[in-house]
Amino acid sequence: LLDTRMPKMDGFEVSRRLKGAEASQTIPVVMMTALNEIAERLKALAAGVDDFLTKPVDATELQTRVNSLLKVKAYNDHQRHYPGEVEAEVTRRTQNLTKALEKIKVASLDTVYRLSRAAEYKDEDTGAHVERMSHYSSAIARKMGLDDDFVENILWAAPMHDVGKIGIPDHVLRKPGKLDADEWAIMKQHTTIGAEILKDASADFIIMAAAIALNHHEKWDGSGYPQGLKGTDIPLAGRIVALADVFDALTSERPYKDPFPLKKAFAIIKEGRGSHFDPELVNAFLAIEDEIKAELNWWKFMSANSTPEESGLSDLFG
């Protein structure tokens, strides 16, 4: 509440200074004056005055005008701060949603690994195989410069490459010796069975998994199965997983063989360039040899320092 005439500084100057300072510019200013001249009121408005009271001031009018101005100020303050409050709330909720989605992704990927292990379990394979080869696959995809969606999808899809083995009879799948022609024909069916299990999905990574299941035994030179596809007719994800799967098989211990030394395993992959494997993928794989070795060494360390319950399937099957 200001008067037009005050000692040292008149009401006009006080109003100008209040409105000119950031900390006080939103404070409502009411000027009390005995003047009704238009010129004085225009001068007051130019100084930032919000309302006027004519002397002598009526108490009821004063209270009504002050309450009205305070309501306007409260509304303006809310409008000024509301975008910031909304932004902060949106940020908070986005962060919470991101954390929740990340937990869902981790849990879902764990489920993919566990279900994929079930198929591998029938083949007396190690449960870690599906995880190792999926990481090899995503590393190759990343080195090839493929987009983030592809890299993530293949990490999720690759573990399901042999899901069709669940439909192969045990006497074929677990036969200790060499398969005869009829048994080998049955074994090859795991590719089409896997694709059939995974078909008609809506999720991108399962669509990719179906293509991988069907095509991960195709070879670059057309000598693979089930369709004898050649070169780039083989879906890219299938070509990547074919390489990752063979490398992990070479470097893994199986009931019928010891793991190949790393140098030998890399040499075999290199020898398969242009016949078994896509040459560009082999080049990418060899370019990340140190990363692949580090990944494999990490798995060896985890296996050596885990209990049977942690490293096997006892948590699934008791």
User: CA 69 to CA 299: how far, in whole Å?
Assistant: 71
Domain 107-317, classified CATH 1.10.3720.10, yes or no:
no
User: CA 93 to CA 76: how far, in whole Å?
Assistant: 26
Supply the Cα-derived Rg of the chain in whole angstroms.
37
* Amino acid 315: pLDDT: 35
- Residue 223: which residues within 8 A CB-CB, separation 6 or more? 275
Helix (H) or strand (E) holding 2: strand 2-3
User: CA 77 to CA 265: how far, in whole Å?
Assistant: 70
User: Which of the 8 DSSP states describes residue 58?
Assistant: P
Residue type, 216: H
Half-sphere exposure of 138 (CA within 13 A, CB side): 18
* Amino acid 150: pLDDT: 97
Q: Is 107-317 in the same CATH topology as 2-80?
A: no
Q: Measured between alpha carbons, how far is residue 20 from residues 13, 41, 44, 249, 310 in Å?
A: 10, 19, 14, 76, 69
Domain boundaries, the chain: 2-80, 107-317
Are the CB atoms for 257 and 112 separated by under 8 Å? Answer: no
User: Which of the 8 DSSP states describes residue 167?
Assistant: G
User: CA 188 to CA 217: how far, in whole Å?
Assistant: 9
Place of tokens 């439909």: 167
* Amino acid 219: pLDDT: 98
Are the CB atoms for 211 and 205 separated by under 8 Å? Answer: no
pLDDT in tens, the chain (318 residues): 777 677 778 877 888 888 888 777 788 888 777 666 677 777 877 888 877 777 777 788 778 888 888 887 787 776 766 666 667 777 777 777 666 666 666 656 666 666 666 566 555 555 578 889 999 999 999 999 999 999 999 998 999 999 898 889 988 988 888 899 999 999 999 999 999 988 888 888 889 999 999 999 999 999 999 999 999 999 999 999 999 999 999 998 876 678 899 999 999 999 999 999 999 999 999 999 999 999 888 877 776 666 444 443 333 333
The highest-level CATH class for domain 2-80 is alpha beta
**Predicted structure pTM score:** 0.64
Place of tokens 């000692």: 7
User: CA 118 to CA 132: how far, in whole Å?
Assistant: 16
* Amino acid 49: pLDDT: 82
The runs of H, that is alpha helices, within the chain are: 11-20, 38-46, 59-122, 129-143, 148-157, 170-173, 181-198, 204-215, 236-251, 262-271, 279-287, 289-304, 308-311, 314-317
